Amino acid sequence: MPDSTTITADEFCRFAISVFQCAGLPAEQAQQAVAPLVWASLRGVDTHGIRNFKPYYVDGLIAGRIASTAACEIEYETPLSARANGADGLGLSAAGWGMRLAIDKAETSGIGLISMRNSNHLGAAGYFSQLAVEQDMIGLCLSGHLYGEGNATGMPPVFGLQPMFGTNPLSVAIPCGDEPTYVLDMSTSVVPVNRVEMMQEQGQSIPLGWCLDAAGRPTSDPGQAAIFLPLGGTRELGAHKGFGLAMLVEVLTALLSNGWAPATDSTPADAPGVYHQERIAHFFGAIRIDLFRAAGEFRQAMDAMIGSLHRAQPAPGHERIFVPGEIEHDTQRIRSRQGIPLSHKEVQDLRWLSKRYDLPLTFSHS
């Protein structure tokens, strides 16, 4: 009965850490890499959780597309900032390293901003930004990719049809008091690529307004989706804003880190050559609340703002208002008790890995 199969967070972590180690990852990195996946799955962000474990990460390590023994390096730093190199490794663990560096710098200096090149898909950006919240900091995590000559899928510029960007996500986490942490975690396109992939796996159609096919026609067939519209959808409804935000993400991730760089080092300075960006780049930020005011007072003001929004009149058909991170927080409480529901494909993937590496794996059935 694959439809009602679940796995506990603990069991997934134990299993996935072993799998990552079998795929060549050092123990500490394996542990770091599993944390954002189980966080996403517990919170109901199924597009960025267990679903991607095999196809995005383990398969990448096996095929050598992701370097398994990569160690992140600082290429330049100040007390407030660093430019780092992800060394072609797993984004899931590189992002943990980068975010901790941002938090460490903020602890010492008030603010820490890290721009990292040469990395790979990092999972749910919100996981990394929320790491700062416990330290009474605002956390930021962005991830960007510019395809210099275009790509088969991705986000086009406004007025354009050629996919030029990834769906360049940005996330911000802000400490609250009794209310759940504010976590905004959004692609700068209408939807991220993996949302459409997941709906295709589930045999669902996608709403018009998310994507165009390769010829630029609106499509509700996830299999035909190639052009991921910028947030706003059309120029009239604000697509220039989604596109502008995607460029901003690109600047902080790939341009500050030198991930978007001339193809050769020998290009003379006055004749910039062809630039390209081979891998995904990231940006991590941590800003101490007490640069402005006492964190306790600030957390109370956050609760009061959320309380005020909760009292706003809901639209017909809706019982209440939710703020960013709240639905996910509720789901996390349920799934921590009841386990993480798995799709047929997720069960298949995990079984395949269990067999390949001869590792025990226990599902639950609800």
Provide the β-strand partners of residue 218: 212
How far is it, in rounded angstroms, from Cα 159 to Cα 80? 38
CB of residue 309 vs a second copy: minimum separation in angstroms?
5
Stretch that binds a second copy, among 16-24, 43-51, 64-72, 295-303 (CB under 8 A): 295-303
How far is it, in rounded angstroms, from Cα 220 to Cα 93? 35
CB of residue 366 vs a second copy: minimum separation in angstroms?
28
Residue owning tokens 């700068």: 188
Residue 295 binds a second copy, judged by CB under 8 A: no
How far is it, in rounded angstroms, from Cα 171 to Cα 316? 29
Tokens at 205, concatenated:
């159609």
Residue 190 binds a second copy, judged by CB under 8 A: yes
Binding mask 14-53 for a second copy (x = CB under 8 A): ----------------------------------------
How far is it, in rounded angstroms, from Cα 313 to Cα 291? 35
Residue owning tokens 């590496």: 357
Tokens at 48, concatenated:
């960025």
CB of residue 317 vs a second copy: minimum separation in angstroms?
9
- Candidate residues 2, 24, 26, 157; the one interacting with a second copy per rule CB under 8 A: 157
CB of residue 104 vs a second copy: minimum separation in angstroms?
16
Residue 279 binds a second copy, judged by CB under 8 A: no
CB of residue 105 vs a second copy: minimum separation in angstroms?
11
Stretch that binds a second copy, among 87-95, 127-135, 147-155, 218-226 (CB under 8 A): 147-155
- Candidate residues 69, 162, 204, 205; the one interacting with a second copy per rule CB under 8 A: 162
- Residue 229 DSSP label: P
Residue 174 binds a second copy, judged by CB under 8 A: yes
Residue 52 burial class via C-beta count within 10 angstroms: exposed 0-12, middle 13-18, buried 19 and up: buried
Instruction: Tell which positions 96-135 bind a second copy, by CB under 8 A.
Output: 109-111, 113, 115
Instruction: Tell which positions 208-227 bind a second copy, by CB under 8 A.
Output: 209-210, 216
Residue 156 binds a second copy, judged by CB under 8 A: yes
- Candidate residues 73, 197, 201, 303; the one interacting with a second copy per rule CB under 8 A: 303
Provide the β-strand partners of residue 143: 282
How far is it, in rounded angstroms, from Cα 72 to Cα 210? 35
Residue 265 burial class via C-beta count within 10 angstroms: exposed 0-12, middle 13-18, buried 19 and up: exposed
Site for a second copy (CB under 8 A): how many residues?
Answer: 87
